[in-house]
A and B are shown apart, each in its own frame.
Chain A
Amino acid sequence: MDFAFTEEHEELRQTVRRFLEGKSDEAAVRALMTTERGYSEEVWTQMAEQMALQGMMVPEQYGGNGFGPVEMSVVMEEMGRSLLCAPYLSTAVFAVNALMEVGAEEAKAEILPNVSAGQCIATVALTEAGRGWDVEAIETRAERDGDAWRLTGSKAYVLDGHIADVLLVTARADDGVGLFRVEGAADNFVRTLTPTLDLTRKMATLDMTGTHATRVDGGGDRAESLRKVVASTIVALAAEQVGGAQKCLELSTEFAKTRLQFGRPIGSFQAIKHRCADMLVEVEFARSAAYNAAFRAAENGDQAEILASSSMAKSYCSEAYFGIAADTIQVHGGMGFTWEHPAHLYFKRAKSSSALFGEPVEHREKIAAHLGL
């Protein structure tokens, strides 16, 4: 593997960066994070129309670009850098991955074109309160009702669950864990916005009591495939974490150069300088972890290695991003503790991302098992 990003990748990166610098600056983030909706419909439309971002990984036959994990990493890294408030991880990554991995043809043909066009918000409801991120732990039940199904149970931490048009809910049927589609406006379906630690990422709880649903996978136990969906979503998330971590390093370095105390820039004191140097090492290692996972996923070789590399990225990038964000608060001194300064936005995004899709220690457990330790 030679980690060769092409000129096209660079162009994509610069295009997305410029767009986000304009449309997702700090003021925009602060404004959107306090709304319930959590995103700008106008910017969402522009993302689709100007750069076809929602359809990045949707195959061309469904109106997308047919790109892969490496391209998605470039985009996610930029989104993480600017803390973009948008239902992108949910719609363009998690839901698209789920449909592509387990979705039957009709489901793909029905949903993916709308996703690509930026006309529908989609999400996957996987985890349940107090039950962790393992697919095996799912208790939400799916019971047949003629040609359709009825779901009963509660889902938690559903990305953009309160506003999604298409909710892909994992539930346990007689033949195993499957993926079911619930309409946002369904009866016996209560969606509640969760008061999140990270206001820039909206989540919801779903309460279903015999909620009408259609099955989108072809039947049978799809647990294995759903695990793969989580793994590929994590790869994108890792890139987002790297983007945020890099931005934090830049904020810290800039502050260290300009904040004067005791007659000189604080960056000229080794305690600060060395902290920044350590942050740099962490960013580069996190970058290696994220790119390694993306390039491996793109190669599509040994599946066990792909899963291991995604867990490695989740574990390392989560801890690196969090450490760097924490250090950023510290480098900024008192200012770092104010609402007014952006450090806490990254800090909260970092810690929350760390908890999403399994804590670092859980992923390390998977790696330890993979290594036979």
Chain B
Amino acid sequence: MAQAEMSQAEMSEDELRQRVGALLEEANPDRVDQFTFRGKQYDHGLAWVHFPEGYGGLGLNPKMQAIVNDEIRAHAKTVYEDLNVNPIGIGMGAPVVLTHGTQEMKDTLLKRIFTGEDIWCQLFSEPSAGSDVAGLSSRAVRDGDDWVVNGQKVWTTLAHISKWGMLVSRTNPDVPKHKGMSYFLLDMEAPGVDVRPLYQITGEAEFNEVFLSDVRIPVERMLGAEGDGWKVAITTLMNERSALGGGSGRKGGGPIGILMNLWKHHRAAGRTPATNAVLRDEITQLYIKSELLRVTSQRARAASKAGNPGPEGSVGKLAQAELYKKVWECGQEIIGADSLVFEAGYELRRPGVDEKRDSRAYAKYQFLRSRANSIEGGTSEIMRNILGERVLGLPGEPRVDKDIPWKDVPRGG
């Protein structure tokens, strides 16, 4: 991410708020649609204030974005959250275009990322490259002014509605794996790109498989140099991992709050007092863990603010994933025999509107969905490796794949 390299201008909070005022006079989210409002927000340099002027920013410290967002929220009821508008485009696409894109790309793509007119997706994982994503095998071969790509991507969020994809493919199989990949900007509407829903255990398809058959990508859409794909990709992966995990802000909120409510409604669900006592203790233990997850995030933020980041900042993702699985397992126990029933059914569908959060249906859904918490964004096993090696300093395992040509590394199907 180029943040550290961008020079920072100074601006007072007051002046920044005034600029937001000027934006809101021209366009208010309550009166114009999303594309229009966010387009103006971009033009005023208030989209991502740490970006350079002319690209939706003002060259300020990224922390000042919160002031802009607060000011908009204070003057309008309609709120467009980045996370709902274009999470991957804004979180990963924009920084990568800013750092590695051509002038033409910056001029034509950045604004449309921010408004949400172009949704973006990330094409890294493959069926044989999950935790070991650097071992990926989709192949890009140079042909004239294009690269021709063949392969399959998996777990691609939003691919079915995306205009652009951030694609990493292998351009050189004869060098060690980390050195032979390149990063491309893929037009998701190009011929040969086939997006199919990925049927998951909950019955929906939040994600997709993307089949690439002789897809042509113009050479200008390689970001970074040939062979730099891993380096360019690593920054987007770092952003993803830190966005996940840390515990709900409110005491007693989040999954544990729902669980305790579920309990209050189901205490009498055909169990003896003695059995209920055991279940009650399970719930109390989960409450304590949830509270400590929250407190640990607080401590991590305090330590980070004080410039003393410690181990408390690294345990969130792992702890949350394992905790949430247990919370929803307990939910099934609380619901009792009715947990045998799954009213929502398994008809393949895209995610719809969230079930009412306090309902039994929500708990039954989360019981299934939470199994992915310890897998997506870094498995719990990988997280333990990271904690063991980077935080505790334990030695890595012998590696059989790092220094030999990729083509010589044993691979599955």
Contact = CB atoms under 8 A, between A and B. Distances in A.
Interface of A: 1-4, 249, 253, 256-257, 264-265, 267-270, 272-274, 276-278, 280-281, 283-285, 287-289, 291-292, 312, 315-316, 361, 364-365, 367-368, 371-373
Given A285-B289, A292-B295, A364 B306 contact: no
A267 B281 contact: no
B291 A312 contact: yes
Contacts of B293: 285
11 contacts: A270-B385, A273-B389, A277-B383, A281-B387, A284-B315, A285-B319, A289-B288, A291-B299, A361-B281, A368-B280, A371-B287
Interface string B382-396: 011101110111111
Given A268-B396, A316-B292, A277 B283 contact: no
A257 B396 contact: no
A2 B304 CA distance: 12
A261 B413 CA distance: 34
Nearest to A2: B302
B204 interface: no
A277 B292 contact: no
Contacts of B319: 281, 285
A284 B312 contact: yes
Given A264-B395, A281-B319, 9 more contacts: A3-B298, A3-B302, A253-B393, A264-B398, A273-B385, A276-B387, A285-B293, A288-B292, A364-B284
B260 interface: yes
A268 B395 contact: yes
Nearest to A315: B288
Select the residue from B319, B388, B398 with max chain A CB neighbours within 10 A. B388
Nearest to B283: A373
A268 B306 contact: no
B393 A257 contact: yes
Contacts of A285: 289, 292-293, 296, 315, 319
Interface residues of B, number: 40
B interface, by DSSP: helix, strand, loop or mixed? Answer: helix
Given A2-B302, A281-B318, A287-B312, A368 B284 contact: yes
B311 A316 contact: no
B32 to A, nearest CB: 40
B145 interface: no
Contacts of B283: 368, 373
Given A280-B315, A281-B319, A274 B381 contact: yes
Contacts of A2: 298, 302
A277 B387 contact: yes
Contact of B397 (A270, A276, A292): A270
A44 B413 CA distance: 68
B37 interface: no
B287 A3 contact: no
B393 A4 contact: no
B132 to A, nearest CB: 15
Contacts of B263: 373
**Shortest 7 CB-CB contacts between residues of A and residues of B:** A267-B394, A273-B388, A277-B384, A277-B387, A288-B295, A274-B384, A268-B395
Highest count of chain A CB atoms <10 Å: which of B319, B384, B385: B384
A367 B288 contact: yes
Nearest to A279: B392
Contacts of A292: 292, 295
A301 B292 CA distance: 19
A249 B295 CA distance: 21
A364 B281 CA distance: 7
B284 A373 contact: yes
Contacts of B298: 1-3
Contacts of B280: 368, 373
Name the residue among A3, A283, A365 with the largest chain B CB count within 10 angstroms.
Answer: A3
Given A268-B395, A285-B296, A277 B388 contact: yes
Interface in B69-124: none
A243 B228 CA distance: 46
Contacts of A372: 264
Interface string B209-226: 000000000000000000
Nearest to B394: A267
A353 to B, nearest CB: 17
B3 interface: no
A13 to B, nearest CB: 13
B315 A289 contact: no
A173 B156 CA distance: 73
B285 interface: yes
B251 to A, nearest CB: 10
B394 A268 contact: yes
